[in-house]
Structure 1
Amino acid sequence: MINIRTRLTYQFVLLVTLILLFFSLGVFFFSKLYLEKRFFKRLQDRAITTTTLLFDLKQTDSTVLRVIDTDSKEPLLNENISVYNQTSKQVLFSTNPANAQFHEQFIPLLDSTAQTLFLKKNEYQIVAIHLNRGNSNWVIVSGIDKAGDEALNDLKKILVIMILAAILLLGVSGWVFADRALAPMSGIIQQVNTIFPANVGRRVEHPNRSDEIGLLVDTFNQLLDRIEQALMTQKMFIANVSHELKNPLTKINSQIDVALIQQRNPEVYERTLRSLQEDTRSLAQLTSTLLDLANTTTQGNTLPVEPVRLDELIWETKTQLQSWHDDYTIQLTFTDFPDDEDALITVGNRASLQVMLMNLIDNACKFAPTKTAVVDFRTQAGTITISIYNEGPQIPEADLPFIFQPFFRGNATAQSINGHGVGLAVVAQVIQLHHGDISVRSTPRRTLFTLSLPSAVSF
């Protein structure tokens, strides 16, 4: 496959060659016109001289012929001068009687209304001048412009040689020009080849950030920023998953080892089994949440979608959470309930939307001292807005930018509340999948999560 340097050279040579050809053809064409015009002028001068000698001086003997032949310092090749009378339809005079028939073929073309006619026949150029001096006479002069043809041939050779030389010079200069233009790209390639996961923090350098290559370098560095962030997130994800799995597994293994050391009464075994049951539920919840996160991250574009009534989905989520947690109190308020049912519907994946609502409402109840969450539902201008808030501990301002990252848990809640720090990451993925928006505001009195989703009215 042809590289960019070669393509640039070819394009440069082709473009400039076409321009040179255009100008060369123009020079040749206008030079030809000029030479033809100049030769016609010479023929016209010969005709006027002949007219003066024949009709003004009344000389028609051999002396007149010699004067006509020696009139020009540069004799015309195959020159022939004839005088034709249109009334008698006879050739009155010819410098070459043996070739008088050559002029006779142009007699039908003579137009009595014209003063001068310019004609061409093969390599001959012909001028005919109409004389209005009593009798209707035409003076016809013909000849071959040998000097003009030789000049055109020489010009053609010069132009061809110059174009070939120009193509050669253009090829060399175009190659050098393309090499200098692409030299920064070679440096960039060398820098990129030195970047590996171990030193992903390195960035590509370019002296001029305002040109096109500089913009490309900036874009590439932004890509490296995202790659570095993704690698750090991956490392943190693996470390956090390992930590979250290690603790309950270590606890389960320790309890089993202690139970197997010696025989114990049934009550001790029952307490051990209940503790093991709690740990396995924690593991099951963690794996289920990780599966939800993986599905929304890797299969977001392939998840089936359908019209979903969010008000009904909120009621289902409330019922399901309260069936699992008897101590949860969930208050629902519907503000400005619309008459149009489409305003309550969004197009999306029902299961993902329910997981999102369940995580938000569960967090609101879990972190509230009274285990109470308030859910406000409203629609306006093609947008469904759901606000979920509780009266609980404030989320520190420094933690707010990170709460939607997987496995992030603030110091204020990590020790007091059980959890894995994955739920809000799932919420963020679901919101992004459904082209929605989520924001959070936390004060000492309450914490408010507000999410917006497009309704079916906006589709």
Structure 2
Amino acid sequence: MINIRTRLTYQFVILVTAILLFFSVGVYFFSKLYLEKRFFKRLQDRALTTTALLFDLKATNSAVLKLVDLSNNDPLSNEKISIYNDTSKKIIFSTNPANSRFHEQFIPQLTAGKETTYIHFGEYQILAIHLPNKGESNWVIVSGIDQTGKDALDDLKKILIVMVGAGILLLGISGWFFAGRALAPMSTIIHQVNAISPVNVEKRVEHPNRSDEIGLLVATFNQLLDRIEQALTTQKIFIANISHELKNPLTKIYSQIDVALIQKRSPEAYQKSLHSLQEDTHTLIQLTNTLLDLANTAANSSHLKLEPVRMDELLWETKMQLQKWHEDYRIEINFSDFPEDEEALLIQGNPASLKVLFMNLLDNACKFSPRKTAIIDFSASKSKIRTSIFNEGPQIPKADLALIFQPFYRSNATAQASKGHGVGLAIVSQITQIHRGEIGVNSTTKGTTFTLIFPSAATF
């Protein structure tokens, strides 16, 4: 598999090579155009010199040939000059009479009214100039091979090929070098990451430049390590607490069975032991169920089926069911700012999970209230639904408010008032987060209020 350094080198070489080829082809193409233009200019000078000698000076053909040769300081390769009379349809002058048919084949390409015509024929460049002379129409046709320009283009092509080849070689070496320098910090980062394990998860990756892309990657990785460290810490606390919570009822059950088996007892004593075992078993079952609820809520949060849920009806159902289980509980629901549009009472959620949420909050409210009473204030608007649950009871210290949603945490103010395992509010917090809601708590000497805010179905 090709590594990043090799891929970067390949991409760098391909990109710059394409640019070099583009400029090299451009240099060759425009050099060719320049040489052709310059050669056509030389042909034009030959044509004008010849016509001036022939028509203006009235020199004979042989004299014109001698004068053309004398004026030709820079002779052209295979140069041929012909003058074609458009009136008589004949060639009236030629520097190479034996090969006058060479120019005759191009006469059909000459267009009346066009002063100059450029023609390429193999290696030849041909120029035809239309010159009217005393009522007559003549064409001066000059041809030749630009051997000097051809040799110059061949040399230029060789130079460009050699330079592009050398450039590609230098690009490969420099690209490999600079790609290695750019990726050098990655080796250090890999070494630091390999040194991190669950034993020293508090270590973080260091990088001197925090503003570049690698620095941003390191910062993101360190944030991931923060979350992993927090998860491992939570897991350790969870395991320690669950071990303690499970150990107590199991030890108590085993001890009671062991005591009951030491010697025979009366039926009343056995019945008393069985009642105690039943109570401890109920506590163990309740703890197991809450732990399963907590685990299922965390594991299946992304697979929960969401549907429109009418919150006022869900509160009534929860109230009826909880009071059916606990006849001494009193739950009051006050509806304020009740909307006219029933759509404002809907949120997008999972009915079973939301019912567990309200069951836990209402059960805690009644359980810690001296009068076993919970008061619910419900209000709804187009964008959100607000539910407040208040109960009289002991004040929760401010230091404990930020910790009560952690698993197995129990405030000293409430731990003595009622038995529990400190898992219910953790489930409430997770279900609230799944439904994109917010939960807050405020505790005073008068009592404690839990406030839930959920976005309505229209804004979900």
Query: Which residue number corresponds to residue 378 of structure 1?
Result: 379
Query: How does 1:386-405 map onto structure 2 within 5 Å?
Result: 386-405=387-406
Query: How does 1:21-36 map onto structure 2 within 5 Å?
Result: 21-36=21-36
Query: How does 1:299-378 map onto structure 2 within 5 Å?
Result: 299-378=300-379
Query: Which residue number corresponds to residue 285 of structure 1?
Result: 286
Partner SS state of residue 186, structure 1: helix
Change (3 A) 1:302 1:131: closer
Change (3 A) 1:136 1:341: closer
Task: Tell me the TM-score normalised to structure 1 length.
Answer: 0.95
Query: Which residue number corresponds to residue 206 of structure 2?
Result: 205
The Cα of 1:454 is off from its aligned counterpart by 3.3
Contact 2:118 2:127 survives alignment (8 Å): yes
Contact 2:365 2:391 survives alignment (8 Å): yes
Question: Whole-Å Cα distance in 2 between the matches of residues 77 and 366 of structure 1?
Answer: 114
- Any idea what the Cα deviations from partners look like across 1:312-371, whole Å, max 9, x if unmatched? 322232233233334322222122333433333333322211111110011111222222
Aligned amino acid, residue 132 of structure 1: P
Query: How does 1:98-109 map onto structure 2 within 5 Å?
Result: 98-109=98-109
Query: Which residue number corresponds to residue 94 of structure 1?
Result: 94
Deviates more, 1:398-407 or 1:215-224: 398-407
Question: Whole-Å Cα distance in 1 between the matches of residues 8 and 319 of structure 2?
Answer: 66
Query: Which residue number corresponds to residue 120 of structure 1?
Result: 120
The Cα of 1:383 is off from its aligned counterpart by 2.4
Question: Whole-Å Cα distance in 2 between the matches of residues 398 and 98 of structure 1?
Answer: 117
Partner SS state of residue 431, structure 1: helix
Question: Whole-Å Cα distance in 1 between the matches of residues 55 and 24 of structure 2?
Answer: 46
Query: Which residue number corresponds to residue 81 of structure 1?
Result: 81
Partner SS state of residue 426, structure 1: helix
Change (3 A) 1:153 1:437: same
Query: Which residue number corresponds to residue 426 of structure 1?
Result: 427
Aligned amino acid, residue 113 of structure 1: G
Query: How does 1:184-199 map onto structure 2 within 5 Å?
Result: 184-199=185-200
Query: Which residue number corresponds to residue 19 of structure 1?
Result: 19
Question: Whole-Å Cα distance in 2 between the matches of residues 457 and 57 of structure 1?
Answer: 100
Partner SS state of residue 73, structure 2: coil
Question: Whole-Å Cα distance in 2 between the matches of residues 79 and 93 of structure 1?
Answer: 14
The Cα of 1:206 is off from its aligned counterpart by 0.2
Change (3 A) 1:153 1:324: same
Question: Whole-Å Cα distance in 2 between the matches of residues 448 and 186 of structure 1?
Answer: 54
The Cα of 1:282 is off from its aligned counterpart by 0.9
Question: Whole-Å Cα distance in 1 between the matches of residues 308 and 277 of structure 2?
Answer: 41
Determine if the alignment matches structure 1 residue 52 to structure 2 residue 52. Answer: yes
Task: Tell me the TM-score normalised to structure 2 length.
Answer: 0.95
Deviates more, 1:174-183 or 1:254-263: 254-263
Query: Which residue number corresponds to residue 66 of structure 1?
Result: 66
Question: Whole-Å Cα distance in 2 between the matches of residues 47 and 392 of structure 1?
Answer: 117
Determine if the alignment matches structure 1 residue 10 to structure 2 residue 15. Answer: no
Question: Whole-Å Cα distance in 2 between the matches of residues 320 and 121 of structure 1?
Answer: 103
The Cα of 1:457 is off from its aligned counterpart by 4.5
Question: Whole-Å Cα distance in 2 between the matches of residues 130 and 329 of structure 1?
Answer: 116
The Cα of 1:25 is off from its aligned counterpart by 0.8
Aligned amino acid, residue 362 of structure 2: I
Question: Whole-Å Cα distance in 2 between the matches of residues 114 and 324 of structure 1?
Answer: 110
Query: Which residue number corresponds to residue 144 of structure 1?
Result: 145
The Cα of 1:107 is off from its aligned counterpart by 1.8
Task: Note the residue ranges of structure 2 that are not aligned, 5 or more in a row.
Answer: none
The Cα of 1:191 is off from its aligned counterpart by 0.8
- Any idea what the Cα deviations from partners look like across 1:204-246, whole Å, max 9, x if unmatched? 0000001111011000000000001011111111111111000
The Cα of 1:265 is off from its aligned counterpart by 3.1
Contact 2:368 2:417 survives alignment (8 Å): no
Change (3 A) 1:388 1:112: same
Query: Which residue number corresponds to residue 162 of structure 1?
Result: 163
Partner SS state of residue 128, structure 2: strand
Question: Whole-Å Cα distance in 2 between the matches of residues 314 and 136 of structure 1?
Answer: 109
The Cα of 1:271 is off from its aligned counterpart by 2.7
Contact 2:391 2:448 survives alignment (8 Å): yes
Partner SS state of residue 138, structure 1: strand
Contact 2:365 2:390 survives alignment (8 Å): yes
Partner SS state of residue 137, structure 1: strand
- Aligned residue pairs total 459
Query: How does 1:428-447 map onto structure 2 within 5 Å?
Result: 428-447=429-448
Aligned amino acid, residue 129 of structure 1: I
The Cα of 1:112 is off from its aligned counterpart by 3.7
Question: Whole-Å Cα distance in 1 between the matches of residues 458 and 173 of structure 2?
Answer: 64
Question: Whole-Å Cα distance in 2 between the matches of residues 309 and 147 of structure 1?
Answer: 93
Task: Note the residue ranges of structure 1 that are not aligned, 5 or more in a row.
Answer: none
- Any idea what the Cα deviations from partners look like across 1:102-137, whole Å, max 9, x if unmatched? 111222233342333222212111122222220322
The Cα of 1:15 is off from its aligned counterpart by 0.6
Question: Whole-Å Cα distance in 2 between the matches of residues 209 and 126 of structure 1?
Answer: 68
Change (3 A) 1:128 1:303: closer
The Cα of 1:458 is off from its aligned counterpart by 4.2
Question: Whole-Å Cα distance in 2 between the matches of residues 277 and 251 of structure 1?
Answer: 11
Deviates more, 1:82-91 or 1:222-231: 82-91
Question: Whole-Å Cα distance in 1 between the matches of residues 124 and 39 of structure 2?
Answer: 11
Partner SS state of residue 120, structure 1: strand
- Any idea what the Cα deviations from partners look like across 1:147-206, whole Å, max 9, x if unmatched? 101111111111111111111111111111111111111111111111111111110000
| Residue identity (%) | 68
The Cα of 1:61 is off from its aligned counterpart by 4.5
Partner SS state of residue 223, structure 1: helix
Query: Which residue number corresponds to residue 232 of structure 1?
Result: 233
Query: Which residue number corresponds to residue 247 of structure 2?
Result: 246
Deviates more, 1:445-454 or 1:218-227: 445-454
Contact 2:314 2:355 survives alignment (8 Å): yes
Question: Whole-Å Cα distance in 2 between the matches of residues 279 and 97 of structure 1?
Answer: 130
